[in-house]
Structure 1
Amino acid sequence: MTGKQILMIVGDFGEDYETMVPFQALQAVGHEVDAVCPDKEAGDTCKTAIHDFRGDQTYMEARGHDFAVTETMAAIDPADYDALVVPGGRAPEYLRTHEEVIEAVQHFFEAGKPVAALCHGPQILAAADVLDGYAMTTYPAVRAEVEAAGCSWVDGVTRDRNLVTGQDWSDHVEWLSEFLDMLGTDIEHGEPVAPADD
């Protein structure tokens, strides 16, 4: 397998697990991932938020990590990337107001390139007007927003054409598996290496 070049759009108070886990997991299987954020330079950090589900009417939020962006958004060309990842959290509600974010998302859909979006991430896709006719899922509170953008909402990880969606970080295993399959990722498992005798 030749690793793909993957773009991830992040922002302050994006969901911690939904940012950190795919960023690391995609690299671990041989892909190259560039994380970008409007108005931040390569090496700047985004503050993340950890969202937890404890039986309340909505999730609770705690401060997460500082996540370093790897490239400057204004300096990259979406055409140089094979796929896009859009994490959730609170970041999508304001990231969708940036024209460069909207234009990047539209590029991936116009070119039919793989896109993986999670939780509140599809708020950006709805703002980019790319969801008409898709079957997809989101965090349930975002359902009305994406249905208004023309999609049919499904209760569970969904793959439709170039788009893979999940409801939240608890969907990581299935969501990432579907995305890796879409990317054509072939993971070979070797024999475990025994520790050296001392």
Structure 2
Amino acid sequence: MAKILMITGDYTEDYETMVPFQCLMACGHTVDAVCPDKKSGDTVKTAIHDFEGDQTYSEKPGHNFALTADFASVEPETYDALVIPGGRAPEYLRLNAAVLDMVRHFFETKKPVAAICHGAQLLAAAGVLEGRTCSAYPACAPEVTAAGGTFADIAVTESVIDGNLVTAPAWPAHPAWLAQFMKLL
């Protein structure tokens, strides 16, 4: 079974954090969820993004998600794969040089990476999308293309794979996204 790193933070999307975390563990994988400046047992606040017919998603308070490892002690080379949830967390996580270095490690070593929704913001900031096809929440399309990637405009229930990278627009794609990711593991 794989040892998987999940990089998350406050106001991560609830389903995009909790569902993959629990699903991957239920399948026998080890998942270490980390956040800069936080330790194992600390929590991050989540937000529930819903699609209710408005011009963009709505946001509601979610749960407190307990982290399972200390960010400061993460050694990316000891992990087999990376998961990047969406929500608002990637917006500020991409400003952290250590986070960007971790993301780059998984691409340099061609280890599986699963990013969903606004997780593409971390990929773009890390400079790993050049020549890659990447899906994300549609509002992130300009960032994907500005980073040299090709934005995959797919249904919200679909995902796309490009080498070691599996991406999807939002949580309704969990069945497709997680299935493709697990094939890479």
Task: State the TM-score bracket (shorter-chain normalisation).
Answer: over 0.9
1:63 lines up with 2:61 in the alignment: yes
- The normalised TM-score by structure 2 is 0.97
- Aligned residue number for residue 97 of structure 1: 95
1:106-142 deviations in Å (ceiling 9; x for gaps): 0000000000000000100100001100011100000
- 1:179 corresponds, among 166, 177, 181, to 181
Please give the TM-score of this superposition, normalised by the length of structure 1. Answer: 0.91
Match of 2:21 in 1: 23
Equivalent residue letter for 1:98? N
The match for 1:129 is: 127
Larger Rg: 1
Q: 1-side partners of 2:47 and 2:167: how far apart?
A: 20
Cα deviations across residues 43-79 of structure 1 (Å, max 9, x unaligned)?
A: 1000000000000000000000000111111111000
* Segments of 4+ moved more than 6 angstroms: none
Alignment of 1:1-198 (within 5 A): 3-156=1-154, 157-183=159-185
In structure 2, what residue type is equivalent to 1:27?
Answer: M
- Count the aligned residue pairs: 181
5+ residue gaps in structure 1? 184-198
**In structure 1, what is the Cα distance between the partners aligned to 2:134 and 2:103?**
16
Q: What secondary structure sits across from 1:116 in the alignment? A: strand
- Quote the RMSD (CA, aligned, Å): 0.5
% identity of equivalent residues: 60
